[in-house]
Amino acid sequence: MSPKTDQSALESQLKTWVEHDPDPVTREHLINLLNRSDSLAIEKLFSSRIQFGTAGLRGQLGPGPNRMNQLTVRRLAIGLARYLGAGSKVVLGRDARHKSKDFLEDIAAVMTANDIDVIIFPEVIPTPLLAFSVRHLKTDMGIMVTASHNPSTDNGCKVYMCDGAQLRSPVDEEIDKLILQSEFPSIKLPSGNGTRFTADKSLEEAYCVSITNSLTQQNQNIRIAYTPLHGVAMQLMQKSFLKARAGELIPVKTQMDPDADFPTISFPNPEEHGVMDSVMNLAKASNADLALANDPDGDRLAVAIPTISGKWRLLSGDEIGALLFNHLASKTSGDNRKVVTTIVCSKLVSKIAIKYGVEHATTLTGFKWIIPTAYKDTSFQPIFCYEEALGYATNSAVRDKDGISAALLMAELTAVLKGKGQTLEDELDALSLEYGHHVTKTWRVRFDSGKPSEVIPKVMEGLRNKPLTAINMMKVLEVKDYLSQDNKTGLPSTDLIVINIENNVRISIRPSGTEPMIKLYMEIVLPVAKREELFEASGQAKALLEKLGVSLENQFKEILELN
């Protein structure tokens, strides 16, 4: 096929898209591209599409099949409706991002047109409330319009099955085929026999009751600096903390209201450098016991704590996971308890699990893997699940990560320790002295130029074709490739390479499932005999992991240069 024919085919796709796009803004954008014969822009928008998968649908806002827009969302909704069938019932929610309301209305209209009843939250809500509502309302599916912690330029849809857990394979592949096979809908959608209902406030109350029931030792005198990072969790956090009498929330006033532009932060992800600065400054100024942040849709939790030096310390996802699990393991009992973590998490939780006699299972990265593993064997009761990217499931009422219930549990732990005259820093130090000092670091290598979908596989292929023998002049002891079918882990094949090097260092390398980057998950375990040794040991460990991250990033560049 000649380049001219290629361009002609793309322009034909564009014209079809324009005929069916209900949004005058994106429609006009495409018409202008056609009139200008902007072949590069047209190719970028029409040479591929956002593919539906286990993470749902997520991407940059804009026109065409390779962007998030009303026609993309309508086609998704048609695929979901055909999978469900007439007579089904779906609950729908949205966050406060650009176009979220339009996308929700489009999904609702497609569902009712296909004789499916919908229950719609009239206002913005955090994702955990939607996940909770699926099982509480006994619906066949839940759909949340959100892009979680992605940039303000993005939006997406997250899908839950009838068991309240994230959509998983092979259902995602079946739905994606239905999307591809479906005809383009008319701009004016037909009416159908589906009924539209409005979700009432009793769902919020039921959610709050469910996530606060397991709390036993809260203290309303705990002071907590808090930010929802311009997201949608503020109201439900306040309601939950008030009901549980779990402490006083002191909000960052410039970040407490939903704002789709996230004006005070460079990136709406509390893992990113500088994003927690405002809440940590507020915590210090208000003499708080704790600083907490949710990401914009409320399903993740970030934590900062005061230290004996007077400075505030931002905790890693693994440190939060260890604190929460150790607390739950110590206050529960029974030989049927279970904890589930991912393969890139710290090894600390597995050691705590052994001490308390808790069954420990490891999955691939993501709650799409965690929750099915947690609830697969009904003879076990999952008491905690987590992934290092600030995702925690602390309560069986929500079968997904929940930053609000995790915040309540962290407040309870803070209260318990304060009652003993101790701090969260004391607790972390005690864990290090008992199990070894586990220091972790996540390193992100972004690929903003070129085509990440082509560049990232080249890097991973290069690592496989010529395995590393040294990193930062440290000897590689073992390389395990999880893409190999004979990886002997019992886990499904996945694009992950785990490298063990000298000095008890482990590095896991995998492409991100939602952003154009490769992530490095690094951990070193140091034996420390005295608390006084921890500060210096931490500094040395972090410096070493930093050097390893830089070294690997440079080696990625070398792989690309050779290819």
Verify that 56 and 151 share a domain, yes or no.
yes
Q: Give residue for tokens 């956090």.
A: 237
- What's the whole-number mean pLDDT along residues 446-461? 81
β-pairing verdict for 359-363 and 337-342: parallel
Q: Confidence class of residue 485 from pLDDT cuts 50, 70 and 90?
A: low
Q: Is 493 a residue whose pLDDT tops 90?
A: no
- Residue 461 and residue 319 share a domain: no
Q: How confident is the model at residue 523 (pLDDT cuts 50, 70, 90)?
A: very high
Q: How confident is the model over 96-119, as a mean pLDDT?
A: 98
Query: Which pTM does this prediction carry?
Result: 0.94
Q: Are residues 442 and 425 in the same domain?
A: no
Average pLDDT value for residue range 522-539? 93
**Concatenated DSSP letters of 75-110:** HHHHHHHHHH-TT-EEEEEE-SSTTHHHHHHHHHHH
Q: pLDDT, tens digit, for every residue of 254-306?
A: 999 999 999 999 999 999 999 999 999 999 999 999 999 999 999 999 999 99
pLDDT of residue 2: 43
Tell me: do 159 and 13 sit in the same domain: yes
- pLDDT per position as a tens digit, 195-251: 999 999 999 999 999 999 889 888 888 999 999 999 999 999 999 999 999 999 999
Q: Are 463 and 552 in contact (CB under 8 A)?
A: no
pLDDT at 97 over 90: yes
Q: Give yes or no for residue 435 having a pLDDT over 90.
A: yes
Least confident of 1-5, 193-197, 348-352: 1-5
Per the structure, the complete domain to which residue 76 belongs is given by 3-200
Which ranges constitute the DSSP H helices of 245-292?
277-285
- Please indicate, yes or no, whether residues 194 and 333 belong to a single structural domain of this protein: no
Q: Tell me: do 249 and 164 sit in the same domain.
A: no
What integer is the mean pLDDT of 426-450?
91
The percent of residues above 90 in pLDDT, for the chain, comes to: 86
Band (pLDDT 50/70/90 cuts) for residue 486 is low
192 with 309, same domain? no
Chain centroid to CA 338: how far?
22
Average pLDDT estimate for 75-84: 97
Q: Which of 400, 393, 244 is nearest to 321 (CA)?
A: 393
Question: In this structure, are 373 and 429 located in the same domain?
Answer: yes
What pLDDT does residue 81 have? 97
Is residue 487's pLDDT more than 60?
no
Judge whether residue 52 has pLDDT over 70: yes
Asked whether the beta carbons of 247 and 224 are under 8 A apart, the reply is: yes
Q: Does 53 have pLDDT greater than 60? A: yes
Catalytic residues: 148
The pLDDT value given to residue 489: 72
Do 192 and 297 sit in the same domain of this protein? Answer: no
Q: Domain ends where: 167, 183, 200? A: 200
Give dist(CA 194, CA 109) in Å, integer.
Answer: 9
Higher pLDDT, 485 or 311: 311
How many domains is the chain partitioned into structurally? 3
Task: List the CATH number of the domain containing 317.
Answer: 3.40.120.10
Write down the pLDDT at residue 218: 81
* Whether 253 and 307 share a structural domain: yes
Place of tokens 């564009």: 14
Q: With cut-offs at 50, 70 and 90, classify the pLDDT of residue 141.
A: very high
Supply the CATH number for residue 495's domain: 3.30.310.50
pLDDT confidence band for 450 (50 / 70 / 90): low
Question: Cα–Cα distance between 508 and 491 in angstroms, integer?
Answer: 15
Please identify, among 200, 234, 269, the residue that sits at the C-terminal boundary of a domain.
200
Strands (DSSP E) contained in 271-358 are: 290-294, 301-306, 312-314, 337-342
pLDDT of residue 1: 40
The residue among 180, 200, 220 that closes a domain is 200
- What pLDDT, on a 0 to 100 scale, did the predictor assign at position 274? 95
pLDDT band at 448 (very low <50, low <70, confident <90, very high): confident
Q: Are 42 and 175 members of one domain?
A: yes
Do 456 and 509 fall within a single domain? yes
